[in-house]
Chains A and B, each alone.
Chain A
Amino acid sequence: MVVEGEFRTEVLVIGGGIAGAVAALAARRRGAEVVLVRRALGATALSSGALDVAPDPLATPRRPRGQELSLEACVHHLAASRPDHPYAILYDELGRFPEALAFAEDAIDGVRFASPTEANRCLPTPVGTLKFSGGALHSIIDGDLARVESQIGVVGFRDHLEYDAELWARLLTDACAAAGLVRSFVPVACDFLSRRDDVLLQPFEIAARIDDDPAGFVASVRRALSPNVKRLLLPPVLSRGDPEVVLRQLEDALYVPASESLATRQSVLGQRLQRYLDEALEREGVAVVRGEIRARDDRDLDTLEYRPARPLPPPARLFLPNGQEPEKNEPGTPVRARAVVLATGKYLAGGLAKNGCLYEPTLRLPVAVSGPGCASTFRLTAHEVVEEQAFFRAGVRVDGGLRPLDEGGAIVDERLLACGDVLAGHDPARDGSAMGVAVFSGYIAGRRAAVVAAQGTSFAGEGG
């Protein structure tokens, strides 16, 4: 897409997580030429494999299942109770929510959502807790503990430090009891990892080992399996690619259905989701470019520049004045796009940055916390983790069309849209709606970007 010293496309998506990928795919399906630029991996590649849409409003630590309201009802409740949440901002579009989920399922392999009329799925984690989520990767979602009632064998690796079958079974039994579910978990400690230093293997290495020898893994599970087990729950390390091969072999050899649990740290499932996104982008003909986009002038889409991906150099000065970024001396390639979708995430992926105050580094859009402006980071975090953290709700304020707004509430640029975690008003870690916001806002932004690109008479960079 870099032609004669300039970078030209109809729709430019900045950010390659799930929001950016869904936006790119939605724009592409509407016929636009799309380029997606990403600097590095972000929160999507670190995600647990759960695709949370909206939590049950009546769920409490004592009653984690809540009233088991439908996903649609949970989304509407979140929108009604939190006027700054992206679901509330997009209230007029909420009718399209099922369409957005169906689009994501169709476009991205391995992504599955419960029907909008169904309740959140009850999914186990490797630390013995339960996560209630509206969707998950396909290897996980069938292991909904609210639906399976048979005796469940939980597979661990004998002598491995992290995946201890006995402890996991006990913790899950307790967690299910606390959620009002009577389930029986049987430890299945297989001897698949038996080399001297296997005890320290990291999750992605176990996954690679299983990829290399799926039959050996299945045989080790068979050796450890007790006859009364009717279903298997596996640690989230089945494969770095497609877990279907191992799952099918397990089911064929042992005659029991099997599913993975969600992941915690060093998530193989997050990396798998990222791979599914990359494959979908390639299949649909979206060009993915490694690099970084920055506007030379604040909020000016006509001065966007592309630079190849490079690690941030060691800083020349240790302390920079508020909101100032390290200087980049090399000239960038000018970017020409009819529509731009900002899907740069929050702090982890670099969509928001903190240097004395919060700022949005790509276009220097105003960051809203409780009000617009360059928000001071002082007193934006509360002492207790479970309290509301204004810091994590900060982001770019948008109108109902997902167009970023300035301090006065005016649209920054008609050709600019934002989606995903960069939006203000939701805390992806706490709200239980991160992936839902990413998919829904990405879908809406992508479709709008395609329309803007089709109507546009000029490219950004050649004057509005």
Chain B
Amino acid sequence: MSRFWGNLYLAYRALAARPLKRLLRGEGGIERFYENYGPEGLIPTTAQDRAMLTAAGRCIACGLCDAFDGNLSRMDRSVYDGASLLPRQWARTSVDLPHARRALSRLRPAELEEAQYVCPTGVPLVELAHWLSQRARRVPAP
């Protein structure tokens, strides 16, 4: 008998209580996502994000791009350590992006063109820099 009441309670939760709660709260999944994960620096991943992450995933950390990065000499080493940071670190997780804002705001994508040309695996560094700047704006401030 207790099994019957248990199943009935689960059915009530699934078919009535939960849909009604979602309906009455009036919030979409995105708002709730930000509410839950925003403070940790996590943001939703769009289809464009996925494509850029795949492109960044081609990086093999050879470091050739760093040697041809014009931005490196313009920034303090504690802020920016070379173009390979973009695919190796900042593209990996949005959690690091608030810390990268200062470097991203001073990054000149045009100066990444030579670094992009020498990349053996064809990581689109210029496009990645633009995308990371936009993505950093979407991450709530810590």
Contact = CB atoms under 8 A, between A and B. Distances in A.
Given A309-B117, A314-B51, A348-B120, A45 B82 contact: no
B118 interface: yes
Interface centre among B51, B62, B124, B126 (most CB of A within 10 A): B62
Interface stretch (B4-12, B23-31, B52-60): B52-60
Interface in A365-379: none
Contacts of B123: 311-312
Contact of B120 (A204, A290, A314, A349): A349
B62 A313 contact: no
Contacts of B82: 202
A314 B117 contact: no
Interface in B36-74: 48, 50-52, 54-55, 58, 60, 62-64, 66-67, 72
A271 B66 CA distance: 12
B125 interface: yes
Given A40-B120, A40-B122, A45-B118, A313 B64 contact: no
B78 interface: yes
Contact of A350 (B50, B66, B120): B120
Given A40-B120, A41-B64, A266-B67, A311 B76 contact: no
Interface in A189-244: 197, 200-202, 204-205
A312 B87 CA distance: 14
Interface in B118-139: 118-127
Interface string A316-353: 10100000000000000000000000000000111000
Interface in A265-323: 265-266, 271, 290, 309, 311-316, 318
A312 B123 CA distance: 7
A318 B50 contact: yes
A311 B64 contact: no
Contacts of B121: 312, 348, 350
A312 B55 contact: yes
Contact of A315 (B51, B62, B81): B51
Contact of B118 (A41, A314, A316, A348): A41
A187 interface: no
B87 to A, nearest CB: 11
A51 B58 CA distance: 28
Contacts, number: 80
Given A290-B117, A348-B60, A204 B76 contact: no
B3 interface: no
Nearest to B52: A314
B55 A315 contact: yes
B64 A46 contact: yes
Contacts of A110: none
B126 A318 contact: no
A33 B120 CA distance: 27
Contacts of A42: 120
Interface in B94-130: 116-127
Contacts of A348: 60, 62, 120-121
Give the contact-size bracket for chain A: 20 to 34
Contact of A202 (B51, B66, B116, B120): B66
Nearest to A199: B77
A128 B27 CA distance: 61
A289 B44 CA distance: 42
B51 A311 contact: no
Interface centre among B81, B121, B123 (most CB of A within 10 A): B121
B54 A202 contact: no
Contacts of A318: 50-51, 54
A350 B60 CA distance: 13
A197 B73 CA distance: 12
B81 A200 contact: yes
B67 A271 contact: yes
Contacts of B64: 41, 45-46, 266, 271
A192 B119 CA distance: 31
A315 B54 contact: yes
A8 B64 CA distance: 31
A46 B62 contact: yes
Interface of A: 39-43, 45-46, 197, 200-202, 204-205, 265-266, 271, 290, 309, 311-316, 318, 348-350
Interface of B: 48, 50-52, 54-55, 58, 60, 62-64, 66-67, 72, 76-78, 81-82, 116-127
Given A205-B72, A311-B122, A311-B125, 6 more contacts: A266-B62, A266-B67, A312-B55, A314-B48, A318-B51, A348-B120
16 contacts: A39-B122, A43-B120, A45-B64, A201-B77, A202-B66, A266-B62, A266-B63, A266-B64, A309-B117, A311-B119, A311-B123, A312-B122, A313-B55, A315-B51, A316-B51, A348-B62
Top 7 A-B pairs, shortest CB-CB distance: A312-B122, A314-B51, A311-B124, A266-B63, A197-B77, A314-B55, A204-B67
